Structure 1
Amino acid sequence: MCGIYCSISFGSPIHSSRETQELLKARGPDSTQAVSISLQIPNPTREAVHIHIFSTVLALRGDHIESQPLKDKHTESFLCWNGEAWRENGQVIGGNDSQHVFTLLLRACQSSANPSTETVIDALTSIAGPFAFIFYDAVSCRLFYGRDHLGRRSLLSRATCNGGMAFCSITDVPLSPGWKEVEAGGVYCVAPSNLPLSPDLLPWTMNLPRIDRSLPNGSVPLLSLSSETILKLEKYLRQSLHLRITDVPNLGQAKNNQDSEDAKIAVLFSGGLDCTLLARLAHDLLPPSQPIDLLNVAFENPRSMVAASGKDPTASAYESCPDRKTGRSSYLELLRICGGRKWRFIAINVPYKESESHHSTIAGLMAPHNTEMDLSIAKALYFAARGQGQIRNTISGQDHPYSTDARVLLSGLGADELFGGYRRHATAYARDGYPGLIEELDLDIQRLGQRNLGRDDRVISHWAKEARYPYLDEEFMKWTLQLPVWEKCGFRPDSASTVVSKEDNRSPPILDPAKQALRLLAWRLGMEQVARERKRAIQFGARTAKMQIGKGRKRGTDLIDG
């Protein structure tokens, strides 16, 4: 992962601000490099075209730190790459991926006299994984930039005063306003010889299938623990997870690289179905000696405390949070099922005053997003990713401070969109049956690229951590989208709850129909309590929503103050 700043200007270079550089260094503490290039190419101003780059790196692939931008020895072509290329045309990419992608793009440009069209698009759509990039092809004097089609990494752009453009992984608002998120709908191309710069959009050639729209012909078969769907679900999810958690290096780590107590992997852990299932499968894939940290965040919310004071005045502001309760419950189930592993439940308690003291930092990181809902979600991710909390000594029962060393954070995001986990999915089924449910799921999938993954990347990466999303793996998504809807969730015309085939004594009882395939997999893997857990939004589970007293009723779509 890296932090990117790049500007194209005429007459004189536009450097990144000191504040921007510090924010980029926070994202990538392992390597920092500034590069300036002057291009003597025809343009209306008859002045030199200046490209200035400031790039930082968080090393998470391969056996060495690869500084960025990557530069071609024979030309002035360069690449800034913020992402993870897991596969190319279905083949796993091992080791450091940035050089692999650079070579791929250089070849694409050399293979055609007009590289601004199919060749660059073909090269990028052959890559599976999250990314944002800036690539300059010196031969054609064109600069390409964009984000993967799901928008899993951040890239912002703005016009500059002299007709140029600037790009960055984060904003330095309010120093330089006008930043906009680069849309994830395709690759953009600009020719520095044209003033003012005007990006051309080259739409993605989508390689993901659309959702299966078939409807049942007759009665709907019941799912079972040993059905082919559940077995394949486990297979594809394991494959996705394997790419994201094995062979994570300790490059750039401050502590002793040989310390077996250092965790390489942590889970953004509410105790819910999606994240706990990832933790359970990670146990099967990682060496037994490698700890796994579970990051569970809870906030002191004055509104919730006032509401609860009459019920139990002695209740802890943190331990009474819904996500803390489910987190501890699921943690105990992991201890019971996954013996021999060192699981660390990190209770991240955020006092109200501390939360408020970080308000401006969080608001700056999530910009240009600026609603109350953005803030409540960003706060939870910000403090969870920081990873500073307390762990409990199992013998003495005493808590003591602990900060995770893990740089890779697993997130369960995407499971709700694929398997029907939101309340609106149940509402759509109740209103219009399977056709309505399919339309709602399809809408969720199609707008993933317009969701908030760029915001989340900016907030989480501030702590030199990288979020990875196993449910958003391209191969996993392809398989899931081709499943009939009744094999993913348990909504049925006869009974929304009687959905499980009774095949043995371990068969589960009535389970919630939302994300039922995942619930059955959790049950199959021994996580029976987790299989029963219901969906809860992070801002309500961690109690970051509606925190301020005296500000009246606020909606999630309201703009934040300041």
Structure 2
Amino acid sequence: MCGICCSVTLSIERDRDDLLHKNLLHNLKRRGPNSSQQVLKTGTDYHCLFSGHVLHLRGLLTPQPIEDERGNVFLWNGEIFSGIDVAVEENDTQIMFNHLSSFNNESEIMSLFSSVHGPWAFIYYQASSHSVWFGRDYFGRRSLLWHFSNTGNGFCLASVGTQAAEIVNQWQEVPACGIFRIDLKSSALSKHVVLKLYPWKCISRENIIEEVVRSLNLISDSLPPFVSIEINEARLCLNTPVAPLNKRLTQGSFDSHSHSSSIPATIENLQIFLRDEHMKKQVHQLIHVLSEAVKRRVLCLTRTESQYVNDEFSKTSSKKANIAILFSGGIDSMVIASLADRHIPFDEPIDLLNVAFMTKPTRHTALTKKSSKPKKHLQTPSEENIKGLATPTDNVQDQNFNVPDRLTGRAGLKELKSLNPLRIWNFVEVNVTLEELQRMRQHRINQLVHPLDTVLDDSIGCAVWFASRGIGYITKEDEMQLYESSAKVVLTGIGADEQLAGYSRHRVRFNTHGLEGLNKELEMELDRISSRNLGRDDRVIGDHGKEARFPFLDENVVSFLNSLSILEKADLTLPRGIGEKLILRLAALELGLTASTVLPKRAMQFGSKIAKMENNNEKASEKCSRLQVLSE
């Protein structure tokens, strides 16, 4: 994880103090706490200031930006999980730059980025052509924003924006539709920036150019007059890293309609589906590809022996977690946790981050509230982080945080403990009061959610920010103790609902337009996931100096799920708790999970109760007034 930025001035004039805005620099440094530096490149007609801030996770610490003897400069915020060889001791930033520096033509650049499996965003200055290349991976799993100056004399690319009111509304997410190139020399001379697009090309789509043209028109609408966008002259494309969606409507060997829509959502009824050999085979293939995806994401980081101490008891009890999971106890997070347990060293704890927003106290709660006795701290978070943190006092007050996700989370913890009682499972209860929500939204979260601005973005952005911060309480020796997660990698289940018909809108679509309509809805879900979810979540989680990783969006997992027909993934004639994400529920059953396999989908904003904190009458799609950014 890194904070990357490139600020370009298309003029020969430059102020001596031409530095990045202090708020932007601060936001970038929070993403990359292990190394920060800047590089200035000056052409005859332009100036480029590159700023890199590194969160060190694997290989040798490689400060960014990196520069070679020919003047090329590279910024990389990504992870190569497969597709290009990276040895354990190597750093993928250096590997990518070595390839780019050796290339002589654009086709080689296309081939390189087509090969990378994993999340990425990058900025590359190619000195010989006076060009800046940049872009995001196919799903947009890493944030990259752009804004163009009002005067038309420059632009900025960055992982995260700034809260300065005079420019915040100009930040927009770089579309994850391919990679872009800007010729800085010609842009400076013509006073017009031309964005050359090298789009993703799906093998099955013959009308790729027509589709790209439609995308270009949508992008152009949000650009200022002195910026235009066009497809590169050579019509070069990136190869889409996943298989196309299977839209066949045949039922195959498994007769979905032999099951009544009125059957109860029970484990026994779910087990019936595993009697079908074809279905069971597909379930085991899903377990295999998803397990490999989780394995890559929990092992691609440096583990040091310094976490150990001498005696055997302390060795286990004092070991720090490297991996955390956004954990509701629902089917997605339970499957990820059980698979992570397979691959993370047995004596390493796993942090399960469970967020709850304080419900309104009842009269009974107010009357019976008791003072608390001092608690032993496992770790002492910084004073800034614990200011306003809700402190559990007794069982009565604790009920104010007994939101649905807290209850299912505790139940899920019991299941995981039964699967592996030797593992230390740190169930981190993150309790958020209204006062702290409002304070941290204004202080940090609003500028991270931007440029997204809906009520839904506010709810999910705040919930994910508090959860991934990892400051809360764990139960140890029957006592609640203050705890701060040390994990730099945060696994999240996003992508499961989008591919396996997990949302309520999927049932609505199925009921009104049948399987064909449902297929179109699922195709749209993946097409828009970069702009709807992933950039925001990357900015929010990265603000804590942590990296979000998305096993369900692993290229091999998506390709496998895309290869299945819709009825092999979900059956929405069946009730909630079985029909949606059917194949994942069956996989969970095969993994040894129990009650969590038939939990119906519950959106994070409702499970954590953040949606009920302030204004109950809002619609999720409305613009959120609470996300307004104030200048300092």
**Band of TM-score, shorter chain:** 0.7 to 0.9
Which of 518, 536, 540 does residue 602 from structure 2 map onto? Answer: 536
- Decide whether aligned partners of structure 1 residues 523 and 307 sit closer, same or farther in structure 2, where only a CA change above 3 A counts: farther
The answer on whether the counterparts of 1:323 and 1:541 sit within 8 Å (CA) in structure 2 is: yes
Q: How does 1:504-543 map to 2 (within 5 A)?
A: 512-543=578-609
Q: How does 1:180-191 map to 2 (within 5 A)?
A: 180-191=172-183
Percent of aligned pairs with the same amino acid: 33
CA–CA separation in structure 2 for the residues paired with 1:257 and 1:383: 29
Matched residue, 1:45? none
The answer on whether the counterparts of 1:86 and 1:93 sit within 8 Å (CA) in structure 2 is: no
1:55 aligns with 2:47: no
Pairwise CA distance, 1:271: 0.8
CA–CA separation in structure 1 for the residues paired with 2:549 and 2:363: 36
Pairwise CA distance, 1:198: 2.4
- Decide whether aligned partners of structure 1 residues 419 and 207 sit closer, same or farther in structure 2, where only a CA change above 3 A counts: same
What SS does structure 2 have at the residue aligned with 1:452?
Answer: helix
What SS does structure 2 have at the residue aligned with 1:358?
Answer: helix
The answer on whether the counterparts of 1:319 and 1:325 sit within 8 Å (CA) in structure 2 is: no
What SS does structure 2 have at the residue aligned with 1:545?
Answer: helix
Matched residue, 1:441? 522
Q: How does 1:266-277 map to 2 (within 5 A)?
A: 266-277=324-335
More deviation, 119-128/512-521: 119-128
Pairwise CA distance, 1:208: 2.1
Matched residue, 1:467? 548
Pairwise CA distance, 1:220: 3.5
Which of 377, 383, 392 does residue 475 from structure 2 map onto? Answer: 392
CA–CA separation in structure 2 for the residues paired with 1:29 and 1:297: 25
Which of 20, 31, 36 does residue 35 from structure 2 map onto? Answer: 31
CA–CA separation in structure 1 for the residues paired with 2:307 and 2:344: 20
The one-letter code matched in structure 1 to 2:517 is G
What SS does structure 2 have at the residue aligned with 1:332?
Answer: helix
Q: How does 1:17-416 map to 2 (within 5 A)?
A: 17-40=21-44, 48-62=45-59, 64-72=60-68, 74-88=69-83, 94=88, 95-108=90-103, 110=104, 112=105, 115=106, 118-160=107-149, 161-175=151-165, 176-177=167-168, 178-193=170-185, 194-195=187-188, 196=191, 197-205=193-201, 206-216=240-250, 220-221=254-255, 223-224=273-274, 227-250=280-303, 261-302=319-360, 305=361, 314=396, 316-360=398-442, 361-393=444-476, 395=477, 397-416=478-497
CA–CA separation in structure 2 for the residues paired with 1:92 and 1:78: 20
Matched residue, 1:43? none
- Decide whether aligned partners of structure 1 residues 444 and 307 sit closer, same or farther in structure 2, where only a CA change above 3 A counts: farther
Pairwise CA distance, 1:141: 1.5
The answer on whether the counterparts of 1:158 and 1:166 sit within 8 Å (CA) in structure 2 is: yes
Matched residue, 2:223? none
Pairwise CA distance, 1:384: 0.6
What SS does structure 1 have at the residue aligned with 2:91?
Answer: coil
Pairwise CA distance, 1:306: 7.0
The one-letter code matched in structure 2 to 1:69 is P
The one-letter code matched in structure 1 to 2:41 is I
Matched residue, 1:425? 506
Pairwise CA distance, 1:426: 2.1
The answer on whether the counterparts of 1:296 and 1:323 sit within 8 Å (CA) in structure 2 is: yes
- Decide whether aligned partners of structure 1 residues 318 and 467 sit closer, same or farther in structure 2, where only a CA change above 3 A counts: farther
What SS does structure 1 have at the residue aligned with 2:153?
Answer: coil
- Decide whether aligned partners of structure 1 residues 318 and 210 sit closer, same or farther in structure 2, where only a CA change above 3 A counts: farther
More deviation, 468-477/225-234: 225-234
Pairwise CA distance, 1:78: 1.0
The one-letter code matched in structure 2 to 1:324 is R
CA–CA separation in structure 1 for the residues paired with 2:252 and 2:551: 34
- Decide whether aligned partners of structure 1 residues 491 and 124 sit closer, same or farther in structure 2, where only a CA change above 3 A counts: same
The answer on whether the counterparts of 1:7 and 1:166 sit within 8 Å (CA) in structure 2 is: yes
* Poorly superposed stretches of 4+, deviation over 3 Å: 91-95, 217-223, 255-260, 305-310, 312-319
* Structure 1 residues 215-252: Cα deviation after superposition (integer angstroms, max 9, x where no partner): 2267744641761101111110011111100142158x
Matched residue, 2:561? 480
CA–CA separation in structure 2 for the residues paired with 1:372 and 1:129: 30
Pairwise CA distance, 1:559: 2.2
The answer on whether the counterparts of 2:357 and 2:401 sit within 8 Å (CA) in structure 1 is: no
What SS does structure 2 have at the residue aligned with 1:104?
Answer: helix
What SS does structure 2 have at the residue aligned with 1:183?
Answer: coil
The answer on whether the counterparts of 2:519 and 2:566 sit within 8 Å (CA) in structure 1 is: yes
Number of aligned pairs?
A: 522
The answer on whether the counterparts of 2:487 and 2:546 sit within 8 Å (CA) in structure 1 is: yes
What SS does structure 2 have at the residue aligned with 1:87?
Answer: coil
Unaligned runs of 5+ in 2: 202-239, 257-272, 310-314, 370-395
* Structure 1 residues 406-432: Cα deviation after superposition (integer angstroms, max 9, x where no partner): 000000000111111111222222333
CA–CA separation in structure 1 for the residues paired with 2:173 and 2:194: 16
CA–CA separation in structure 2 for the residues paired with 1:317 and 1:217: 47
RMSD over aligned CA atoms reads: 2.5
More deviation, 118-127/359-368: 118-127
What SS does structure 1 have at the residue aligned with 2:184?
Answer: coil
Q: What is the TM-score normalised by the length of structure 1? A: 0.88
Higher helix proportion, which one? 2
CA–CA separation in structure 2 for the residues paired with 1:555 and 1:433: 26
CA–CA separation in structure 1 for the residues paired with 2:429 and 2:51: 36
* Structure 1 residues 353-397: Cα deviation after superposition (integer angstroms, max 9, x where no partner): 11111121211111111122111111101111110000012x3x2
The one-letter code matched in structure 1 to 2:284 is L
Q: What is the TM-score normalised by the length of structure 2? A: 0.78
CA–CA separation in structure 1 for the residues paired with 2:175 and 2:593: 39
Matched residue, 1:12? 14
